[in-house]
Structure 1
Amino acid sequence: MKIHFLGGTGTVTGSKTVVELNENRILIDCGLFQGIKSLRELNRQPLAIEPSTIDFVLLTHGHLDHCGWLPLLVKNGFKGKIFCTAPTKQISKLILADSAKIQEEEASKANQEHFSKHNPAEPLYTVADAERVTPFFRVIEPNLEVKLTDDCYFKFFPSAHILGACSIELHAEEKTLIFSGDVGQDDDVLMHPPQKPKSGDYIFLESTYGNRLHPQNDVLFEVEKIINTTISRGGNVIIPSFAVERVQTVMYLIWQLRLQNRIPNVSYIIDTPMGIRVLDVFNDNPKWHKLNPHECEEMCRMFTMISDYEDTINAIYDKRPKVVIAASGMITGGRVLSYLERYIDKPENTVMLVGYQAEGTRGRKLLEGAKEVKFYGKFYPVEAEVVLVEGLSAHGDQKDLLNWLSELKQKPQKIFLVHGENEAADTLRTKIFDTYGFDATVPLLGQVVEI
């Protein structure tokens, strides 16, 4: 058996791992690279393994860095099946359509305003390409064994990261392989705790926060303080947010604060068409989260939902203080760019970051104190206050990741640390050995390991 590390190694994006058996190839996740240009350019490179030779895709969840390359996989010859949970199928369809639409719009804008080095600028894939993925999806319930071949089967088990997110237990050639996908926090605001693996010969564990612990601050108080401070000086709070789960988590916290009259009665806006559609996914899948239907309805009622871009423009030029939640979470695209173009250079405003900011993204640059930021070929001075609320991450921290390994009944032969920047992964490697005595390693991008 060979393991091909084609993405999500040395970085938190582009997750792609191929398990090569005697006659079959199984791809675990199929994500887009995001962040620095050298990584983004990998999205346009051919896959090291011919897509037509891949028999199955096992999809852990619907975030772009795990499903965003599927349109190109299909476009380049994949004819197999894509297994996932019901919420993951719903979310992936939304994410892929939104990703394609943004790429088409940005390519069009680049061609009109001539700020791209490419002439013409072209999207990585189109909306039509994204739609061609849907027929390949096969929905699977968690904890149900699914036979792939005579001697190979798998099952999903919940990982608590977002709606529908699961880890994978794969049995092949008398070996058990565990792929964590992204692991959520044990005490997440909306998600149930992750299910832990009981045994595994080889474990592929994410390491996004492998070198960090989330602060034990009162997140509700942090959000309250940020909103009140900004509104009191006549500013706007702009919250770049991932449309799946993070938008809903921030909504929930703000709703709780309003119920307790701890924040002012100003406009609270959701400006992410996909985030609004994800609310329907929440309502369709109550067993996957903690909110009941009544709470979902009450929470949504306090927000102004914006879908039309004309309404976005009106909101931007409305001089009254407001709180806006808009995608994308790492400020790589989407509606939030339009707000920041207008607000980033005004000191009364606040940009509230609520999740992981990958290397090379605008969010990471703001977090690291950048004095200017580039949108659509132009630089804007950063005068707005930039704050990070760490406790809202959908990723577990080092303690959560170590705890995820705590119920293993026997020592695995090897743990591969993926989906993390090198320092985070290497710190977790050491911590795993010190805690459990397990042998862990950090694979390289493009590495092939025989097991």
Structure 2
Amino acid sequence: MKIKFIGGAGRVTGSKTLIESNGIRILIDCGLFQGIKPLRELNWEPLPILPSTIDFVLLTHGHLDHCGWLPRLVNQGFSGKVYCTSPTAAISKLILLDSAKIQEEEAEKANEEKYSKHDLAEPLYDVSQAEKVFPHFRIIKENEEINLDTEISAVFKNAGHIIGACSIELKLENKILVFSGDIGRDNDVLMYPPTKPKKADYVFLESTYGNRIHPTEDTKLFLEMFINNTYHNHGTVLIPSFAVERVQTLMFLLWQLKKEQKLPDIPLIIDTPMGINVLDVFQKNTSWHKLNAYECEEMCKIFTFISDYKETIDTIYNPKPKVVIAASGMITGGRILSYMEEYIGKPETSVIIVGYQAEGTRGRKLLEGANEIKIYGKYYSVNAKILEIEGLSAHGDQNDLINWLSDLETKPQKVFLVHGENQPADELRIKIKEKLGIECSIPLMGQEIEI
């Protein structure tokens, strides 16, 4: 059996792991590379094998760095099945359409304003190509075994990261391979704790926060403090947010603060069409999270939802204080960029970072103290307050990741640490060895192993 790490090795983006066994090829996730330009350029490169030779894609969840390359895969000849849970299929469709639309718009803007280095800027894929992925989805139920081939089966188990997210247990050649996907937190605000694996010969474990223990800070208190301080300075609060799970978590916390009368009379605005659509997925899949349908409905009443871009423009140029939650979470695209153009240079503005910021993203640069950021080919001075709330991450920390491994009945032959930058992965490797006595390996991009 051969395992090839095509993406998500040594970095937190572009997840793709290829398994070859007895003539069957299975791809675990098919993610887009994000962050620094050398990584983004990888999205234009062909896979090391022909997509037409891949039989199945098993999708752990619907984030862009796990599903965002599917349109390219299909466009280049993949004709197999994409297995995932029902919420993951719904989320992936929203994510892919949004990604395609953003890429179309950015290519059009680059051509109009002539800031592209290419004669003609083109999107990585367009909306019609994204839509061609949808017929390939096959819905599976959590904990239900599916047969991919006569001697290959898979089980999807709750990973707690976002709605529908699962780890995948793959049985083949008398071995059990467990792919963690992205592991959620044991004490998440909205999501249930991840299901721990019981048996595994080999584990492929994410290591995003392999070197970090999430602070035990009161996230509600920080939100309350940051919003009130900005309001009293007559400023606007911008919260770049992932549209899936993070927007809904923020809404829940703000709803709690409103009920406790701890926020001023300030507009609370959700300006992410995809985030709004995700709310519908939440309401239709209440078994996957802690909110019931009534709570979802009550929570939504305190927010203003913006879908039309004309409303976005009107909101941007309204000088009154407001709280705006908009995608994307790493400030790599989406409507948050339009708000940034207007507000990042104003000292009364607060930008609250509430999630992981990959290397090379605008969010990471802001956290690292950048004096200016580039948006649509122009540079903007950073005078706004850049604040961070670490306690909202949807990724498990070092303790959560080690705890996820702790119920294995026998030690796996090896744990491969993926989906993490080198330092976090290496620190997690050392901790797993110390606490569980399990050997870990950190694969390189493009590396192939045999087991």
Deviations 1:262-298 (A, max 9, x none): 0111110000000000000000100000001111011
Counterpart in 2 of 1:247? 247
Give the Å deviation of 1:118: 1.0
Q: Indicate the SS of the match to 2:249.
A: helix
Distance between the aligned counterparts of 2:156 and 2:210, measured in 1?
A: 23
| 1:411 Cα deviation after fit | 0.7
Is 2:162 the counterpart of 1:162? yes
Matched, 1:353 2:360: no
1:112-261 aligned at under 5 Å gives the runs 112-261=112-261
- Of all paired residues, the percent bearing the same amino acid is 66
Superposition TM-score, scaled by structure 2 size: 1.00
Aligned equivalents of 2:11, 2:354: Cα separation in 1:
19
The separation in 1 between residues aligned to 2:126 and 2:440, in whole angstroms, is 39
Aligned counterparts of 1:40 and 1:424: Cα–Cα separation in 2: 22
How many Å separate the matches in 2 of 1:140 and 1:423? Answer: 35
Instruction: Provide the residue aligned with 2:292 in structure 1.
Output: 292
**Counterparts of 1:118 and 1:394 in 2: how far apart (Å)?**
37
After superposition, residues 3-14 of structure 1 pair within 5 angstroms as 3-14=3-14
Instruction: Give the SS at the match of 2:426.
Output: helix
**How far apart, CA to CA, are the structure 2 residues paired with 1:218 and 1:243?**
22
- One-letter amino acid of the structure 2 residue matched with residue 402 of structure 1: I
Deviation at 1:410, TM superposition (A): 0.4
Residue in 2 aligned with 1:317? 317
Any idea what the Cα deviations from partners look like across 1:354-395, whole Å, max 9, x if unmatched? 100000000000011001000000100100000110000000
Aligned equivalent of 2:425:
425
AA in 2 matched with 1:59: L
Deviations 1:220-263 (A, max 9, x none): 10111110111110000000000000000001101100110101
Cα RMSD (Å) of the superposition?
Answer: 0.4
Q: Aligned to 2:438, what secondary structure does the other structure show?
A: coil
Structure 2 residue runs of 5 or longer lacking an equivalent are none
Query: What is the Cα deviation at residue 82 of structure 1?
Result: 0.3
1:33 partnered with 2:40:
no
Letter in 1 for 2:358: A
* Superposition deviation, residue 214 in structure 1: 0.6
Alpha-carbon distance in structure 2 between the residues aligned to 1:218 and 1:306? 29
Q: Which residue of 1 aligns with 2:56?
A: 56
Cα distance between partner residues in 2 of 1:265 and 1:135: 46
Q: Partner residue of 2:450? A: 450
Q: Deviations over 1:392-439 (max 9, x none)?
A: 000000010000001001010010000000101011001100011100
Structure 1 unaligned regions, length at least 5? none
* 1:144-192: CA deviation from partner (whole Å, max 9, x where unpaired): 0000111110100000000000000000000000000000000000000
CA distance in 2, matches of 1:387, 1:406: 35
Query: C-alpha distance in 1, partners of 2:333/2:286?
Result: 30
Equivalence map 1:78-89=2 (5 Å): 78-89=78-89
TM-superposition CA deviations, 1:310-357 (whole Å, max 9, x none): 000000011110000000000000000000100000110100011000
Tell me the equivalent position of 1:76. 76
Amino acid paired to 2:328: S
Alpha-carbon offset, residue 199 of structure 1: 1.0
What is the distance in 2 between the residues matched to 1:265 and 1:192?
32
The residue that corresponds to 1:344 in the other structure is 344
Q: Deviation of residue 22 (structure 1)? A: 1.5
Residue 391 of structure 2: aligned partner: 391
Secondary structure of 1:217 counterpart? coil
User: Matched residue pairs, number?
Assistant: 451
Measure, in 2, the Cα distance between the counterparts of 1:27 and 1:176: 16
For 2:193, the aligned partner's letter is: P
After superposing on structure 2, the runs of 4+ consecutive aligned residues of structure 1 that deviate more than 6 Å are none
- What SS does the corresponding residue of 1:191 show, helix, strand or coil? coil
* Corresponding residue number in structure 1 for 2:271: 271
Residue 216 of structure 1 aligns to which amino acid in structure 2? T
